[in-house]
Structure 1
Amino acid sequence: MDATFPRARKNQLGYKTSEVEEFLQRARRAYDGRPLPDDAPLDSERIRLTAFGMQKGGYSTAHVDAAMERLEDAFAFQERQIASRLHGDEAWLSEARTTAQVVANRLARPEGQRFDRVSRLALGYNVREVDRFADRLTRYFRDGWPIAIDDVRGVVFSAQRGGYRESQVDLVLDAVVDVMLAVR
């Protein structure tokens, strides 16, 4: 039987193949509207937050991550179509505008104060790097400057003692992705 994705080398870590395969089967059932009774609900946000275990010789992380992004896009598109039929496009876009305003308000804070900081002894995201990326996002929301959704999904910040709290930054980045998917 052929593998769904290319594999990492035998001595390198990749995603656990059984977890990826099980998730893809569940996603297919959810997308087709035929989930099993014990399947947990699945939507674009849950897809974005899904994490797989690692194993030597597992599936290539780059290939699986790319497929997960396409799957998230497909679910988001389906969610928008359903919401549009039930509530109309304006309701869907209104929710996206509200989320965008919340994000824009957060990003409008002064540099170095946009997010909570961890203690000086703990590691968080590099403040300067996050603020630089936040400025790009501000231009996207305020001025319509182009930024790709993959740039938001794939941004990586180095660690810094006393840096920004990672979970808070990640939540805002997830909200940005939600807005970008909503207005596609």
Structure 2
Amino acid sequence: MSTTFPRTGKKTRGYSVSEVEKFLATARGAYDESDATAALTAEQIRGMAFSMTKNGYSPEHVDAALERLEDAFAARERAQALAQAGTQAWAEKAQADSEVITARLRRDAGHRFSRVSFLSLGYNRADVDRFAGRVVKYFDNDFPLTVDDVRGAVFRPQRGGYREVQVDAVLDGVVEVMLAVR
């Protein structure tokens, strides 16, 4: 029986133990480069999802570990890119990525992302717009904002709200730029 993370209990759902263990084995092989077939990136780690099962691993503990793992892979990817392309090229790419993100987030309030139909739930537009303002201030004026703030951003549901997939993709881009310039 594995004890990598606390379990949720027999009546509570958590992440599938076998899926998490399999992913962690793949991540170990990819990170220490002992498994040539296990190519893994920080972006793939950020998008990782597991099935929910009773008596599974505690999602909060696994998510925290995935965030640390993503940080480690991002730092390694940054070091490799700096060694290959140089500091100037790396900084230019991060700058270009941040400009794409801020261009989207500077759109008019209520129009930064496409909306779901009025009958469907999306992210609350006012919540997202408010957070978008914080992100723009971060990029423009070094407003205090951390990777954890972005990862932990929560938006209320709203009928006719912003399309979640689009908002999440931009937030992933923000995390990627923030990790790149650490």
Coarse TM-score class (shorter-chain normalised): over 0.9
1:146-180 CA-to-partner distances (Å, cap 9, x unmatched) read 11101101111111111111111011000000000
- The match for 2:154 is 156
Alignment TM-score, normalising by the size of structure 1: 0.96
1:78-119 CA-to-partner distances (Å, cap 9, x unmatched) read 001111111111111111111100011111111111111111
| Structure 1 residue 35 displacement after superposition | 2.2
1:34-55 CA-to-partner distances (Å, cap 9, x unmatched) read 2254x4x310000000000111
- The match for 2:34 is 34
Alignment TM-score, normalising by the size of structure 2: 0.97
RMSD across aligned C-alpha pairs, in angstroms? 1.0
Q: Which range moved further: 90-99 or 47-56?
A: 90-99
Structure 2 residue runs without a partner (length 5+): none
Q: Distance in 1 between matches of 2:78 and 2:4?
A: 28
- The match for 1:15 is 15
Q: Distance in 2 between matches of 1:19 and 1:75?
A: 20
Superposed, 1:74-93 pairs within 5 Å as 74-93=72-91
Question: Percentage identity across aligned positions?
Answer: 56
Q: Distance in 2 between matches of 1:35 and 1:162?
A: 46
Q: Distance in 2 between matches of 1:118 and 1:59?
A: 33
| Structure 1 residue 32 displacement after superposition | 1.0
Q: Runs of at least 4 residues of structure 1 off by over 2 A?
A: 34-37
Structure 1 residue runs without a partner (length 5+): none
Q: Distance in 2 between matches of 1:36 and 1:137?
A: 37
